[in-house]
Homo-oligomer: A and B are copies of this chain.
Amino acid sequence: MEELEYMQEGRTELEQLGEFALIDRLTDGFDTKNDTTLRGVGDDCAVLASAPGRLSLVTTQTMAEGIDFDMMYTPLKHLGYKAVATAISNICAMNGTAQQVLVSVAVSNRYSVEALEELYAGIRLCCDRYDVDLVGGDINSSRSGMVLTVTALGSVAADAVTYRNGARQHDLVCVSGDLGSAYSGLLILEREKVTFQANPEFQPDLDSFDYVLERFLKPEPRADIVAELAKRGVVPTAMIDVSDGLASELLHVCKDSHCGCEVYEERLPIDYQTTRVCSEMSKNMLPVSNALNGGGDYELLFTIGQGDYEKVKEMEGVTIIGHITEEGTGVNMVTPQGSLIKLVAQGFRD
């Protein structure tokens, strides 16, 4: 009944490891016992054998109040939408189609039934938008705040499933949409929050930031890109969704694929509103930095064989930003002046 020893001494702080290193350490040595388990920990989804020629995809992820969202500027309807959208995004990142979600909520009595109804209105909106069924979950009490966990299930043809580890030298690196806008939206909300806390009479000026705010508060999974790739007969060689920022995702793909890459700074798709937010915030804030490290865009980063170049180059909303290089060359950004900037992993961010 005494306080447990590992709480006291010989302790390693969570911050000392990154999230991914921590997961590696905790799941090291778990072996696979079921032949339906084709891929476990380590990609956007687990991959399970389903009917012949089909694979099942499953992913689960948690969002915690005060860490992953701030109730001060996150309407619950948006939160419900985003939680489902980001889970669906993981299914898209395997080149699959989401079909079901389960939602678990742990919530303190600070929240009312009406608040949860708002949350579920957002969940429903996203389910309807992406033809996904809510099939389960539970609601628990918590001591403080809200923790939301969404599990998504999906399906993909066995010959279309796309892992992180399939990129090969000379493949082209592509990304959907634009990068850095979600983080720019967060910066605006954080700024207005500080102003509001200093003076509660203050009315926030958010009108001219619609796009970046929506990108942050209500991201959309790129199911349309998955469908368009299928329509054009393109199976990417590797794919991941951009949840932690382009740099982090490139590092994942290159590490798992045993390769390097070069992406061109001037090719990174950055919306003009992202640029505007940066210039408003500080002379030293570079839009490219938001694109590389901001995260939360939920765009798809994927690689294709050179033979698919013609099929992809005209795709609306897709930009070819670079190419895969051989192992050991690192993950690099080429500046407009032609010099290489080595991209490195960020610290523990969640």
A residues at B contact (CB < 8 Å): 1-4, 6-7, 10-17, 19, 22-23, 25-27, 29-30, 32-34, 36-37, 39-41, 45-46, 48, 50-52, 56, 58-68, 71-73, 75-76, 99-100, 102, 104-107, 109-118, 120, 124, 127, 131-145, 147, 149, 151, 153, 155, 192-193, 196, 200, 202-204, 350
Contact = CB atoms under 8 A, between A and B. Distances in A.
B106 A13 contact: no
Most chain B Cβ neighbours within 10 Å, of A12, A100, A106: A106
18 contacts: A4-B71, A7-B115, A11-B114, A14-B111, A14-B112, A15-B109, A19-B138, A32-B133, A37-B100, A37-B133, A40-B136, A48-B135, A60-B151, A64-B106, A64-B140, A64-B143, A142-B145, A143-B144
B34 A100 contact: yes
- Give the number of times this chain occurs in the complex, counting copies: 2
Most chain B Cβ neighbours within 10 Å, of A36, A132, A141, A202: A141
Ranked nearest first, the 3 interchain pairs of A and B with the lowest CB-CB distance are A46-B135, A11-B112, A12-B113
Chain A binding site: helix, strand, loop or mixed by DSSP?
Answer: mixed
Contacts of A120: 26-27
A250 to B, nearest CB: 20
A14 B99 contact: no
A41 B134 contact: yes
Most chain B Cβ neighbours within 10 Å, of A26, A61, A73, A120: A26
Nearest to A200: B2
Contacts of A45: 136
Contact of A25 (B117, B132, B138): B117
Contacts of A13: 109, 112-113
B143 A58 contact: no
Given A1-B73, A25-B117, A41-B134, A124 B30 contact: yes
A14 B136 contact: no
Contact of A143 (B29, B131, B145): B145
Most chain B Cβ neighbours within 10 Å, of A6, A52, A63, A117: A6
Contact of A350 (B63, B140, B144, B202): B140
Contact of A114 (B12, B48, B59): B12
